[in-house]
Structure 1
């Protein structure tokens, strides 16, 4: 029984036979599957054929060094998500900072301590498994949400969507709460152990040769400093996931029975957070720039969960439009953009404009955009329900207006207008 899947393995990249022997022995002793590459070029070639679970990458190698190898691996969509741990004798801050900036997740100092190698490998394999598990859960839930859209229109129960997204937020919140709650005591324990070690050094300034050798082999001073840096990185990561979980909960607020004053800017920001993975650049296009031109908008009397659904549908359509424009090389600007503008008009209505710089929509299609089941997307790419749901929420639920302005080659703008104060309370 190995510590990776039946087909998974760890790739060791190092040109030094002694280093390879030590790493191979360490991994083999714990039952890890592994393969070996002796330079950056052959490592990249191997990864393109078979993707490893984790890469242990030497920094100083002939040909392209570890930094350049890492840069190329992270630039390739096939390998950009594979965790890379640098193995190096370089202890200067500049080298470590460069490695982390290139996308590495950790460093293992040379000479190697077998226990440290195994510990760090285990941690990052587990983190990768947790990440993939969370991504799969979100993907499964997203698929369920899409199937539920027809039911939402038929039954007028948009709260179902909120319950599903709240479920995703709950599933994310449980493991991240466990991690976040355990970091402070872990930090306290490490600080305590560090203090005891320092006291030992003061009380027994002349340790035995066996202890001196062990300290030098571990590079104790570096490890004591690096442990706190690793803890800080874990804190930052857990805080980021907690923010995502909060955005999901804000997005899915279940308030279908009552209107209440709400901050629409918060709803827009929560929706953009959920769509962040689609706004990021990929092999087909650069990142989509989101420009927020937020005005002085008071709290608006509305069903905030339903308004978030409107924002989601329109923003997702804008991203689709930009993807299509770039694929056809017809974007109206070199940088794909979405501009969100908010203001209060003279009639004391909240006005939210969401505009993209894609190809625009022909006049004949504009007239049918809000019809249920009407879609211009290929089979399997759209249900034709998103804009009809948005129209129903804005016009029927909020006594507002949903308008579209578009010119071919100039992009598309959707304008949402709803009264700040509900006529019925």
Structure 2
């Protein structure tokens, strides 16, 4: 509560005798005492050294105690200093006026020393208690705000993880449904090519052994352009085989993306993760009315398998590539006809880090936004276009879960995100601790 050795009391009275009596009593009680002979001097003293409590005479020359009190309470810096009026007035109206102005109490003249000290002590205790409660409330409010922000981040992370998990399940289901018929087509094309080759060989043998063809057969052969069929049919089968192989490759990419949809750490091919993410976003790369097709330039280096959470890294790749496509779409209206939108992906090894750089020419990010790209309290996307939490979540995945770094670099109209993942991380990611505890 109150500690009189550190409490300063300002006594304001135009009568020197009253100042002397009060100063002596308060000093004897170990209070630090300051004095002022009028309201103007009191206001000046309070402005540079605020006391903990003010004893204020009502009747003074110049501005009286009521006006002095009003000015003190009107100033936010001095409004909470408790004021006790000192007066010989016994009129209830005057007392009510002072209390309405913000005074906390009255002391009547002539002074009773014990009464003065008792009232001063009570109001100083209340003053310090109020400040202590305010500090506790502010601290608790800050803790609650931090807890709410953490909860909000956790909820958004769960939502994002659920989205990725659901997407992985859908992709896995599509890949599974397509896989069997494609394998059937792919497998049968091998036999179909052999059958067609045999049939064409048989047709050639018939023509060589029976040069005199029935007119009806000859007419039908001309109608179906047998020479063209003989030449084109093998090409048609080869084209079907190429298409089936392409679909088979897409299925493998879809399986790579979906099989990485959990939070388990394992040896991951980051190039396969990038390619599968590009496949998922391939429809957004196509030309639009506002821009040409987005070129994807890959500069893949020699990366080993990385011990990491493939599903979460795919989430990071998806966020950064999606944001790049948003930027390319948004800036397209300001570019000329010769403008070519592109995304560059470069991978390399630097020291103990696997580095993935994803760049685009979608225009610079203003410095005031760049400073808060990874702050969870800043919403960067308009309503309906996402939570704006993709980059903060990605930053946590890279830095907290994997012990890496995620940074943004801007050069002209090029924006690049650099992901650095330890190939042999020194720290134990939180998700690994969870895995170990669950075994």
* TM superposition score category, shorter chain reference: 0.5 to 0.7
Partner of 2:324: 318
Asked whether the 8 Å contact 1:163–1:254 carries over to 2, the reply is no
Partner of 1:184: 190
Pairing of 1:243-282 with structure 2 (within 5 A): 243-254=249-260, 256-282=262-288
CA distance in 2, matches of 1:220, 1:166: 44
Q: Distance in 1 between matches of 2:184 and 2:394?
A: 37
The question of whether the paired residues in 2 share the 8 Å contact of 1:244 and 1:274 is answered with no
> How many residues get paired?
274
Closer, same or farther: CA 254–361 of 1 in aligned 2, 3 Å: same
The corresponding residue for 1:220 is 226
2 CA distance for matches of 1:330 and 1:314?
25
Could you give the per-residue CA deviations for residues 314-360 of structure 1, whole angstroms, max 9, x where no partner exists? 112111111211123289x93222222223334x1222221111122
What is the aligned partner in structure 1 of residue 345 from structure 2?
340
8 Å CA contact 1:262, 1:302 repeated in 2: yes
Contact 2:409 2:417 in 1 (8 A): yes
Partners in 2 of 1:260 and 1:252 — Cα distance?
A: 14
Q: Max radius of gyration: which structure?
A: 2
Equivalent pair of 1:318/1:356 in contact (CA under 8 Å) = yes
Q: For the aligned residues, what is the CA RMSD?
A: 2.9
**Secondary structure of 1:260 counterpart:** strand
Q: Tell me, in whole angstroms, the C-alpha distance in 2 between the residues paired with 1:220 and 1:388.
A: 65
Most deviating of 396-405 and 333-342:
333-342
2:416 equivalent to 1:413:
yes
Cα distance in 2 for residues equivalent to 1:276 and 1:255: 19
Correspondence 1:50-199 to 2 at 5 A: 153-154=158-159, 158-199=164-205
Structure 2 counterpart of 1:234, from 228, 237, 240: 240
Counterpart-to-counterpart distance in 1, 2:335 and 2:393? 31
Do structure 1's residue 284 and structure 2's residue 290 form an aligned pair?
yes
Cα separation, 2, equivalents of 1:217 and 1:156: 61
Q: Does 1:204 align with 2:210?
A: yes
Task: Tell me which residue corresponds to 1:100.
Answer: none
State the alpha-carbon separation in 1 of the partners of residues 185 and 289 from structure 2.
33
TM-score by length of 2: 0.56
Once residues 384 and 177 of structure 2 are traced to their aligned partners in structure 1, the CA distance between those partners, rounded to angstroms, is 28
Please give the TM-score of this superposition, normalised by the length of structure 1: 0.58
Per the alignment, do residues 323 and 165 of structure 1 end up closer, same or farther by CA in structure 2, a change over 3 Å counting? same
Distance 1:150 1:198 in 2: 71
Partners of 2:156 and 2:389 within 8 A in 1: no
In 2, distance between residues paired with 1:155 and 1:414? 20
Partner of 2:259, secondary structure, is coil
Q: Note closer, same or farther for the CA distance 1:343–1:208 as it changes in structure 2 (3 Å cut).
A: closer
Show structure 2 runs of 5+ residues with no match: 1-153, 433-439
Give distance in 2, aligned partners of 1:311 and 1:202.
62
Q: Distance in 2 between matches of 1:375 and 1:290?
A: 28
Question: Using the alignment, how far apart are the partners of 1:179 and 1:280 within structure 2?
Answer: 28
Specify whether residues 296 and 213 from structure 1 end up closer, same or farther in structure 2 by C-alpha distance, changes over 3 A only: closer
SS in 2 for 1:252: helix
Q: Quick one: distance in 2 between partners of 1:270 and 1:414?
A: 19
Q: Is the 8 A contact 1:159 1:254 kept in 2?
A: no
1:391 corresponding residue in structure 2: 395
Are the aligned partners of 1:369 and 1:375 in contact in 2 as well (CA < 8 Å)?
no
Give the equivalent residue in structure 2 for 1:66: none
| Cα offset, 1:162, TM superposition | 2.5
SS in 1 for 2:417: strand
Distance 1:243 1:255 in 2: 19
| Aligned CA distance change for structure 1 residues 151 and 180 (closer, same or farther; 3 Å) | farther
Structure-2 change in CA distance of 1:172 and 1:368 (3 Å)? farther
Q: Is the 8 A contact 1:402 1:417 kept in 2?
A: yes
